[in-house]
Amino acid sequence: MHRTAMTAMWLQGLLASAAPASTVSGVVHVAGDPGQPVMNARMTLFTPALTSFWETRTDAQGTYTFEDIGVGTYQLGACSLYREYIEITLTVSASGAVQNFALGPETEPGIWQIIGNTLPELFDATDIAILRPDGQVFFCHDTVDPVLFDPVTGEKSFPAGSGAEQGCMSGSLLSDGRIIMVGGQDGSDPGDFVNAIPWVKAYSADSDSWEWLPDLQLPVGRWYPGLARLADGSFLAMGGGTSPAAQRTDTCERFDLTTQTWSFTGSMLNPCEFPPSALLHNGMVLATWSPPQLYDPATGQWQATGNFNQPNRLWPGHSDHSLVVLADGRAAVFGIRRGPDQNDVMGELYDPDTQTWALTSNPGLVREQPEVVQLPDGRILVAAGRTEVNPPPVPHVLGVVKWTDLYDPSVDNWRRVADLNWFREYHAVTLLVPDGRVLTTGGTQIQFQFGPTTADIEAYTPPYLLRGVRPQITQLSDATPQRGQTLTLTIAPDTMLTNVVLMGAAAPTHWVDGGIPRRLVLSIEQAGPTATVTLPTDASVLPLGFYLMFAMVDDIPSVASIIQVHTAQAGDVDDDGDVDLADHAAFVTCLTGPCSTATCVPPLYGGSATCAAMDFEGDGDVDLRNFAQFQNAYSN
């Protein structure tokens, strides 16, 4: 290169590096009231490909400043909880830029989009959807013709069928990731509900095959049994209709994970089918149909708890509501049948401490048996359902509507959002997937009188996915943690998280979730791109199983990492699923080192390990008495 040209380039670079950095600043206030600042608004300045990204918050006066910004064109975004997101293209010159924002209330409705279908299957009765550990959704209505759907690619595949038709059952995930189907009825005459069966089957994705597990103990079977996950990852099966007359039963059974067998436990206060149910933070199982009652896993007995404010919901038919457990430990039900008492409030909240219920505020249209999904931001999606308003104020088929709401329990507020594309009644299956969207399909054969009209799968994009730059979990230290374990997350871009949220992996059938219908909010510590979070130690708060882990910035979630919360196998100190020589070396460290039953890093092989796995006696100490027990585990 000619020396003159090289000199010119050098001077140009020198001048550029010496040029003062630009500043971007401004004020964020409430729309329509310039004198009311918006404090703690999230401000982001970035290039579209996120090669450059800055984040800051407004102060008490609503002001923000970005410093050391190079000349160029950027996207500048402003948002605050419960307020709209505004994003503009901003050109920054050498003298900087000033940009003010006026934020109005959040009005973004989100959008329902058709992203695939389940053809040749139409899921319009006895449907189940189960979120698998790989993020795909397993749809099934008879165990013979399942459909596997990838919500990211929109592609579907067809797993092996069981060879024996089984409908009207409950399903969930076993602790090893297999899908379990419990009870139901055979396929000879499913519409009469008189062919209840005690069958239990499990599907393995690894082998693409089904196996028969030991039957339920009740020989007359259970169609539409309730299913609740207990703290150890086992299950409680409740009630259901029986053969040969579809008579409901009050009996219950528990599933032993070790022997994979069922045994009777205490009976419910009333016979019923499909009771919405969930494990509470206090260790009791709440079942709400009917009346609301509590099961104590320690004693195996049921007891009454506070009744609804609107108790007469036409029991013993199908329940009119869905149940979720909130992050603060309360339970919430949504959906109401008017009944003879003219019930007219769609939601009630249960306080386990006082064992009482409180009415929620109401949406613009009250319905029964809606689709209910708790979201990572704490709001609850309540979609479709049937209204008893006559005539309904919106398009409907036999009272079934497309209406969708978001309910926020923290402020007891409803907001109507985008309508579904299709009318869907209670046979639809609806669940949260790792990218933060909500999927639904089925339920388009309205009350068995109209349709079915479609096999489409719809996905709802909630407003939180339309609020600017999302955090990303680029690395997670352990996807199979134990309770109480500290996890490290690497976050990109350079954004400060507000918390980490765990959402139980769902397994809905109709309006009942046989998965883990709960949301947990975990506090974090963060330094740069590295955040740490410690899982709860309480088994009732964090039942064993699969969870979606979302990194959150205000109400904006990352794509979730799916984690499996499990307990260590006795003797498996390095938690690799096997008791081997590496564990023998770790035993010496646990015996002589300072860690006792705490987490330690045995130097002979490296990596995290839990000395508690060597505490065979559970006495809080690792000593020579445990060595013989370890040798037995190792030899087996």
Do residue 170 and residue 42 come from a single domain? no
Residue pair 190/169 in contact (Cβ under 8 Å)? The answer is no
Question: What is the span of the domain harbouring residue 608?
Answer: 581-635
The pLDDT of residue 139: 97
Residues 84 and 189 in one domain: no
Instruction: State how far the Cα of 427 lies from the Cα of 392, in Å rounded to an integer.
Output: 21
- Dump pLDDT digits (tens) for 568-626: 666 666 666 566 776 676 666 666 654 444 444 333 333 344 566 666 555 555 666 66
Residue 187 — very low, low, confident or very high, per pLDDT cuts 50/70/90? confident
Domain termination site, one of 431, 466, 501? 466
Q: How confident is the model at residue 27 (pLDDT cuts 50, 70, 90)?
A: very high
Question: Does residue 195 fall inside a structural domain?
Answer: yes
3-state secondary structure of 584: helix
Mean pLDDT of 188-199: 82
Q: Do 115 and 99 lie in a common domain?
A: no
Residue 451, pLDDT score: 87
Confidence tier at 636 by pLDDT (50, 70, 90): low
pLDDT of residue 592: 60
Nearest to 449 by CA among 398, 413, 373, 495: 398
In this structure, the answer to whether residues 26 and 133 fall within a common structural domain is: no
Q: Does the structure show a pLDDT above 80 at 365?
A: yes
Q: For residue 489, tell me if it sits in a domain.
A: no
Stretch 453-473: mean pLDDT, rounded?
A: 97
Residues 56 and 147 in one domain: no
- Decide if 532 is inside a domain: no
pLDDT band, residue 284 (cuts 50/70/90): very high
Q: Is residue 495 part of a domain?
A: no
Mean pLDDT of 358-385: 98
Cβ–Cβ under 8 Å, residues 123 and 441: yes
pLDDT at 492: 97
- Among 466, 491, 526, the domain boundary falls at 466
Backbone angles phi, psi at 140, to 5 degrees: -155, 145
My answer on whether 70 and 118 are in the same domain is no
What pLDDT, in 10s, does the model give residues 319-353?
999 999 999 999 999 999 999 999 999 999 999 99
Contact of 609 with 601, CB cutoff 8 Å? yes
Looking at residue 597, its pLDDT comes to 40
**75 and 178, same domain (yes or no):** no
The predicted structure's pLDDT at residue 7 = 43
Q: Which of 8-12, 150-154, 271-275, 433-437 has the lowest mean pLDDT?
A: 8-12
More confident residue, 540 or 636: 540
Are the CB atoms for 406 and 555 separated by under 8 Å?
no
Check which CATH number belongs to the domain holding 33 and give it: 2.60.40.10
Q: Give the strand order in the sheet containing 86-92.
A: 53-57, 42-46, 72-79, 86-92
Residue 470 predicted with pLDDT over 90: yes
Q: Apex CA 427: angle with CA 422 and CA 429, to 5°?
A: 75
What is residue 605's predicted lDDT score, i.e. its pLDDT?
34
133 shares a domain with 96: no
With 0-12 / 13-18 / 19 or more C-beta atoms within 10 angstroms meaning exposed / middle / buried, residue 314 is: middle
What is the per-residue pLDDT for 496?
A: 97
Q: How confident is the model over 44-94, as pLDDT tens digits?
A: 999 999 999 999 999 999 999 999 999 999 999 999 999 999 999 999 999
Q: Are residues 81 and 230 in the same domain?
A: no
Q: Domain boundary residue among 103, 120, 139?
A: 103
Say if 511 falls within a structural domain: no
Q: Which strand (E) or helix (H) includes residue 590?
A: helix 581-592
33/59 same-domain check: yes
- In angstroms, rounded to a whole number, what is the distance separating the alpha carbons of residues 483 and 561? 17
Counted domains in the chain:
3
Rounded percentage of the chain residues whose pLDDT exceeds 90: 81
Give the whole-angstrom CA distance, residue 453 versus residue 476. 43
Q: Kindly report, residue by residue over 419-439, the tens digit of the pLDDT.
A: 999 999 999 999 999 999 999
Question: From CA 159, how far away is CA 204, in angstroms rounded?
Answer: 10
For residue 188, the domain's CATH number is 2.120.10.80
Q: Is residue 508 part of a domain?
A: no
Give the mean model confidence (pLDDT) for residues 209-238: 96
Average confidence score pLDDT of the chain: 90
Within a domain: 437: yes
Q: Does residue 84 sit in the same domain as residue 58? A: yes
Q: Given the structure tokens 């899921």, which residue do they identify?
A: 123
Task: Please list, in sequence order, all residues whose beta carbon lies within 8 angstroms of the beta carbon of residue 356, skipping any fewer than 6 positions away.
Answer: 306, 350
Same domain, 99 and 119: no
* Residue 216 within a domain: yes
pLDDT greater than 60 at residue 43: yes
For the stretch 498-518, pLDDT in tens is: 999 999 999 999 889 999 999
Q: How far apart are CA 109 and CA 557, in angstroms?
A: 17
